[in-house]
C-alpha cells in the first residue's frame, strides 16, 4: 500500500492517508505549523510531500481570510440586518426554484448496477400538494469491502447537484435547495458507511453513479423513461506520482 490521493486497493480508511479529526489549524491568527507538520507526518501512511500540503493550506487560509474581510466590509457598508436578510432571500429563492422543479416530477425508481456487483437504488416520492419530495436510497448495497463506499456528504452533494441542474434559473448553490427534500440514506450502506470503511473511490466514481441513478429516478421522468447514461469518470491511479493528501 502506497499512501497517495487515491490508493486503488484500500479496504480501510487508515490506508488512505492521515486521518484528521477536529484539528485546530489556526490559533489566534497564526497557523499552527509545527503541530500541523507533525500531524501530516503521523500514522502508518503519512503524507509524502508535506511542503506542498502546507503551501495548499496557507492558500486556503488566505482565501478564507479574504472572504472574511469582504464579508465584514459588506456588513459595514450595508449593515448586519440587511446582509442577514439578503442571505435569507437567496436561500428562499433557491427553495422556491426547487419546489417549482418538484412540481414537474413524478414518483420514480431507478437501480444502478456497478461493475463490481454493488447496486445503488433510489426511489423518489413526490408530494404535489406540499411541493416536496422524499429521496430514498433504501435497497442500496451494504457497505463494501473495497473503497467504493461514499460518505453521506458525497451522496447529499450528488442530490444537490442533480436538483440544481434541473433548475432553469441562475441561482447559487445553497442550503435552500435542500429544504423541500427529505433524503433517506440507510446506515451501514455503501452510501452511509460505518467507520473505518475505505472511501477513496466514493468521491470520484460512486458519486457519478449516484448522480446517474438520481437522473434515472427524477430528471428523466420529467421527459420519458430511458436508461441512465454510463458514469463519465475514468479514474487512473498511479501510486508513484499521485499528489498526496
pLDDT over threshold 70, residue 120 = yes
- Same structural domain for residues 42 and 108? no
Three-state DSSP class for residue 12:
strand
Q: Residue 43 belongs to what domain range? A: 13-75
User: Per the domain annotation, does 159 fall within a domain?
Assistant: yes
Quickly state the pLDDT bin for 7 (edges 50, 70, 90).
Answer: confident
- Same structural domain for residues 110 and 32? no
pLDDT over threshold 70, residue 222 = no
What is the C-alpha to C-alpha distance for residues 181 and 96, in angstroms, rounded to an integer? Answer: 12
- Same structural domain for residues 29 and 138? no
Percent helix, percent strand, percent coil in the chain, to nearest 5: 45, 15, 45
Quickly state the pLDDT bin for 5 (edges 50, 70, 90).
Answer: low
pLDDT over threshold 80, residue 21 = yes
- Same structural domain for residues 209 and 115? yes
- Same structural domain for residues 32 and 143? no
User: Per the domain annotation, does 164 fall within a domain?
Assistant: yes
Please count the structural domains in the chain: 2
- Same structural domain for residues 69 and 107? no
- Same structural domain for residues 183 and 106? yes
- Same structural domain for residues 149 and 187? yes
- Same structural domain for residues 157 and 111? yes
Once rounded to an integer, what is the mean pLDDT over residues 44-63? 95
How does pLDDT run across 165-206, given as a tens digit for each residue? Answer: 899 898 888 999 999 999 999 999 999 999 999 999 998 999
- Same structural domain for residues 57 and 118? no
Q: Are 187 and 180 in contact (CB under 8 A)?
A: no
The pTM of this model reads: 0.84
Amino acid at each position: 500500500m502506497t499512501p497517495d490521493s487515491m490508493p486503488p486497493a484500500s479496504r480501510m480508511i487508515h490506508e488512505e492517508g492521515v486521518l484528521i479529526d477536529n484539528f485546530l489549524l489556526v490559533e489566534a491568527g497564526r497557523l499552527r505549523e509545527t503541530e500541523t507538520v507533525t500531524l501530516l507526518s503521523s500514522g502508518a501512511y503519512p503524507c509524502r510531500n508535506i511542503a506542498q500540503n502546507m503551501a495548499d493550506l496557507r492558500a486556503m487560509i488566505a482565501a478564507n481570510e479574504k472572504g472574511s474581510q469582504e464579508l465584514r466590509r459588506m456588513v459595514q457598508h450595508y449593515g448586519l440586518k440587511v446582509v442577514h436578510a439578503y442571505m435569507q432571500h437567496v436561500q428562499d429563492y433557491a427553495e422556491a426554484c426547487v419546489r417549482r422543479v418538484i412540481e414537474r416530477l413524478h414518483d420514480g425508481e431507478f437501480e444502478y448496477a456497478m461493475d463490481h456487483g454493488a447496486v445503488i437504488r433510489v426511489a423518489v416520492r413526490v408530494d404535489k400538494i406540499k411541493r416536496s419530495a422524499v429521496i430514498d436510497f433504501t435497497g442500496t448495497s451494504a457497505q463494501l469491502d473495497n473503497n467504493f463506499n461514499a460518505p453521506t456528504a458525497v451522496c447529499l452533494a450528488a442530490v444537490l447537484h442533480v436538483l440544481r441542474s434541473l433548475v432553469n434559473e441562475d441561482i447559487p448553490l445553497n442550503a435552500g435547495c435542500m429544504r423541500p427534500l427529505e433524503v433517506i440514506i440507510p446506515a451501514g450502506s455503501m452510501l452511509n458507511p460505518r467507520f473505518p470503511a475505505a472511501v477513496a473511490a466514493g468521491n470520484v466514481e460512486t458519486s457519478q453513479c449516484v448522480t446517474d441513478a438520481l437522473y434515472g429516478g427524477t430528471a428523466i421522468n420529467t421527459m420519458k423513461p430511458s436508461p441512465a447514461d454510463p458514469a463519465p469518470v475514468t479514474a487512473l491511479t498511479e501510486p508513484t506520482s499521485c499528489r498526496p493528501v
